[in-house]
Amino acid sequence: MVSVLDTIGGTPLLPLTRVAGGLDVRVKCEHMNPGGSIKDRIAQAIVDDAERRGVLRSGMTLVEATAGNTGVGLALVAAVRGYRLCCVMPEKMSLDKRAALAALGAEVIITANAPPSSPQSFRAVAARLAAERGWFCTDQFANPANVRVHEEVTAAEILTQTGGRVGAFVVGAGTGGTITGVGRRLKAALPNVRILLADPEGSALADWVETGRLGVDGSYAVEGIGASEPPANLDRSVIDGAVRVSDADSFAMARRLIQEEGLLVGGSAGTNVAAALRVAAQGGLDGPVVTVLPDGWDRYRTTPWMRAWATEPSGS
């Protein structure tokens, strides 16, 4: 039966014009998915996979540790397929995301901003609820269906849309699903492609990619990417290097994408594009730089970085 789930994926790959200053950087518009983010793809893939394996049956409850976007994607899938949904979120995530999940009918549980190894972390709480209540934990950080859908579908779209020419793929990692899945497939198809991590300053992942040792765990305001420890779905062996981006540069670039390109995106899109432009400026690549716009601006209207624009002159 045709449903909203059939509109997931197949997103446009657009060239940047005004912000790219002549560099060839192309953006995969994942904010145009029906739930407003790249996470619609993995929500559908994880549920499809669990149904196929027989571990998920109609009427059951899904539980996920989510920064918000996976929760929205899962809410769409839950609505169409008849599941209940519980989302466990760290308190740093925006009020807009909490409100969206509650409006979608999900139960929302807020946890402290604790590292993944802590029993108070959003991931530990989600796992505990699944074990205690017999819920299905979708487990985006370790579920191989996350990586697989990016390897088989997202990467195939990029290869078709670029005519098989990609110089570099530059993207941040939250679960690592996007960079691992797309990176693996592009490397298999294109021997010269460079796969680079865009990482917020304050995340420990950039150092880990470069040296194998975790960097210092700091704080940053960009949501959905970066981590204090690498998740299971992040495969270091597909990544060639890292680009560090400050909050200020991420939010300034998100603003430029919105105001100069009409791309209505969130903060991590700013991180990805700022990093992609730096990679393109270095040159020496065998094709365009491709990056991803993971989610839309509607999730961030109450955040300090976007509210500040209402009181600052444009372009400041």
Q: Give the nearer residue to ligand PMP in terms of CB position, either 48 or 54.
A: 48
| 44 contacts ligand PMP (rule: CB under 6 A) | no
With contacts defined by CB under 6 A, name the span among 115-123, 219-227, 240-248, 277-285 that binds ligand PMP: 219-227
**Residue of 112, 88, 114, 97 lying closest to 303 (CA atoms):** 97
| 291 contacts ligand PMP (rule: CB under 6 A) | no
| 265 contacts ligand PMP (rule: CB under 6 A) | no
Among 33, 44, 69, 250, binds ligand PMP (CB under 6 A): 69
| 223 contacts ligand PMP (rule: CB under 6 A) | yes
| 174 contacts ligand PMP (rule: CB under 6 A) | yes
Annotation says 28 is catalytic: no
DSSP per position, 54-111: T---TT-EEEEE-SSHHHHHHHHHHHHHT-EEEEEEETTS-HHHHHHHHHTT-EEEEE
Tell me the residue type at 72. V
Q: Give the nearer residue to ligand PMP in terms of CB position, either 210 or 235.
A: 235
Map the footprint of ligand PMP across residues 77-96, applying CB under 6 A. Answer: none
Among 33, 44, 111, 178, binds ligand PMP (CB under 6 A): 178
Q: Give the nearer residue to ligand PMP in terms of CB position, either 9 or 174.
A: 174
DSSP state of 184: H
With contacts defined by CB under 6 A, name the span among 54-62, 171-179, 192-200, 243-251 that binds ligand PMP: 171-179
Among 35, 183, 266, 270, binds ligand PMP (CB under 6 A): 266
Map the footprint of ligand PMP across residues 87-146, applying CB under 6 A. Answer: none
DSSP per position, 7-25: GSS---EEE--TTTTT--E
| 294 contacts ligand PMP (rule: CB under 6 A) | yes
Q: Of 28, 39, 97, 187, which residue is the catalytic one? A: 39
Q: What angle do CA 246, 249, 254 make, to 5 degrees?
A: 125
Angle between helices 267-282 and 247-261 (to 10 degrees): 90
Q: What are phi and psi of 21, to 5 degrees?
A: 50, 40
| 67 contacts ligand PMP (rule: CB under 6 A) | yes
**Residue of 200, 153, 202, 151 lying closest to 177 (CA atoms):** 151
d(CA 217, CA 203): 6
* C-beta separation of 279 from 289 below 8 A: yes
Supply 186's token pair.
């592009």
d(CA 34, CA 263): 16
Among 9, 73, 172, 202, binds ligand PMP (CB under 6 A): 172
| 176 contacts ligand PMP (rule: CB under 6 A) | yes
Residue 38 CB, nearest approach to ligand PMP (Å): 6
Residue 147 CB, nearest approach to ligand PMP (Å): 9
| β pairing state of 289-292 and 107-111 | unpaired
Task: Tell me the catalytic residues.
Answer: 39
Query: Which residues lie near ligand PMP (CB under 6 A)?
Result: 67, 69, 172-178, 223-225, 266, 268, 294-295
